[in-house]
Amino acid sequence: MNPRNRRQEITRVFDGRTHQVALCRGYRDGLPVFGWNEAPATLLTRSQLRAAGLRPNGQDPLALLIFRHRKPYARETVAELFSVELAAPKRTAAPGQMDHAMEARRTCCVCSCVQDYCVPTSTRECWTCFDDEQADRIEAAA
Ligand SMILES: [Zn+2]
């Protein structure tokens, strides 16, 4: 498809807070259709919402994202687009809980220091404590 010959229509999408005016490729099932990178920034696919720690929260899709993969065998992919404004934090991990869980994963069980990396789940120790322990073991063995 030649991008310059692309048929485009002006559409309005209410994202839950504001009316977004955008160019769409037409309509399918009554929903405006956007190409890759053409949808308003406040509309995200299910997987993009998930990546942002959100879920659609029972809302109906506001638009469709239709794209093809670069590979010639790839079929057309249709993804529903949801409003970020109407989305809710994931039930399992709200942003605050997420921080808490991440902090727990970065906390050493020996020195209780919060590291800037996740400590290994096998030892739950930071690398400093782990090294010290290894050094002790080697000394004990010597
Ligand atoms: Zn430590």
What's the residue count for the chain?
A: 142
| Distance (Å) from CA 130 to ligand 1 centroid | 7
* pLDDT digits 0-9 by tens, 12-26: 998 888 888 999 999
Confidence check: pLDDT of 93 > 60:
no
User: Looking at the DSSP assignment, which residues form a beta bridge with residue 27?
Assistant: 32
Provide the terminal-to-terminal Cα distance of the chain, rounded to the nearest Å: 72
Percent of the chain scoring above 70 in pLDDT: 87
Confidence check: pLDDT of 31 > 70:
yes
Confidence check: pLDDT of 141 > 80:
no
DSSP H stretches of helix in the chain: 46-51, 95-106, 127-141
| Distance (Å) from CA 97 to ligand 1 centroid | 23
| Distance (Å) from CA 117 to ligand 1 centroid | 12
| Distance (Å) from CA 139 to ligand 1 centroid | 19
